[in-house]
Amino acid sequence: MPTSELKNDRYLRALLQQPVDTTPVWIMRQAGRYLPEYRALRKQAGSFMNLCTNPELACEVTLQPLERFDLDAAILFSDILTIPDAMGLGLYFAEGEGPKFEKTIRTAADVEALPVPDPELELSYVTDAVRTIRKALDGRVPLIGFSGSPWTLATYMVEGGSSKDFSKVKGMLYSDPKTLHAMLDKIADSVILYLNAQIAAGAQSVMVFDTWGGVLSPHVYREFSLNYMAKIVDGLQREADGRTVPVTLFTKNGGRWAQHIAATGCDAMGVDWTIDLKEVVTEVGDKVALQGNMDPSVLYADAQTIQTEVKRVLSDFGDKQTGHVFNLGHGIHQHVNPDHLKVLVDSVHEFGRKA
């Protein structure tokens, strides 16, 4: 479906720095635990992975926030760790502990043995979900596909789960960089196939989440994270069905590297709340569109405070007529009152209206 057939295409237009009537908004983790209907469906499904691997349930979860809020995009309901799971590492979720893997990658032999998954085989539940969601959306808003970045996926694959100090993967980085590069290269190849499969299935925009790039020093970030995201950008199918497919890169705590991220050839970059949006606008100019960057914790405040912060973020972007997608600086917290998100979304559209 070309973008011209979309009932609301302002999100795609903003990413491509084309004119918009008002600033578009969507929210990271907009389909998730803060919604009672999500919690009910997850309980019915029995587990998070059952939700992710059932295309009909993934579709239902994806659409839930659109029934409550006037959002300008839907994002595929899935997990960033689907690729390592498809590589045979055995993803599971321990209660209260987050994601874990049954197997870890520690040696060159481990890396050599890693397969590159076929998205239409080992990850067909994701591409089936994309097709199901696109059909259900019926042109209502665009659908965002996504993946974790190679560095972020590697941290989980080496550590075996979440980490506070990243000692094992950073240890590999400094003691055996050749092995880590081989691993990152294989993951990047897998991400390219994965995102291109999502695009072929109907994703109208794609995003790469580099959740843990910000734990690296600047030169290490460029070598071990950004270089592989640039490879992904170069490998993506940027047009499909007569439409441009924009790509957004987001490194949490990565705002200080804005110029380097903008130089990858991506269409947009996400920024979190730890950097002044005005500074990023000054640094990158019109090279890329920007997404962000309100602190998610603002949503614990009252309506007036939320509106004030929305105005501040819009003001920080400046008087440019397009090129900004409003978002939180990271995912919405699970204990936020959904009514507060409605205040945010409606305020963005009201205060972001263009002359």
32 is in an annotated binding site: yes
Backbone torsions φ then ψ of 191, nearest 5 degrees: -65, -40
**Residues whose CB is less than 8 angstroms from the CB of residue 324 and which lie 6 or more positions away in sequence, other chains included:** 14, 23, 289, 290, 291, 314, 317, 352
Which position among 9, 10, 38, 79 bears the catalytic label? 79
Tell me the pairing of strands 143-148 and 247-251: unpaired
**CA–CA separation, 190 and 239 (whole Å):** 19
Active site residue 33: yes
**CA–CA separation, 69 and 305 (whole Å):** 19
**CA–CA separation, 351 and 343 (whole Å):** 12
29 is in an annotated binding site: yes
**What is the helix (H) or strand (E) element at residue 92, kind and residue range?**
strand 91-94
321 is in an annotated binding site: no
33 is in an annotated binding site: yes
Active site residue 125: no
Buried b (16+ CB within 10 A) or exposed e, 244-265: bbbbbbbbbbbbbbbebbbebe
Active site residue 79: yes
Give Cα 218 distance to the centre of its chain. Answer: 22
333 is in an annotated binding site: no
210 is in an annotated binding site: no
Q: Which SS3 state, helix, strand or coil, does residue 325 take?
A: strand
Which position among 10, 13, 42, 134 bears the catalytic label? 42
Which position among 29, 106, 140, 256 bears the catalytic label? 29
Which position among 11, 38, 156, 228 bears the catalytic label? 156
**CA–CA separation, 326 and 24 (whole Å):** 6
**CA–CA separation, 56 and 179 (whole Å):** 39
156 is in an annotated binding site: yes
* Cis peptide bond N-terminal to 54, omega within 30: no
Tokens 């071990």 map to which residue? 224
Residue positions in the annotated binding site? 29-33, 79, 156, 211, 330
Q: Which residues are catalytic?
A: 29, 33, 42, 79, 156
Residue positions in the annotated binding site for substrate? 29-33, 79, 156, 211, 330
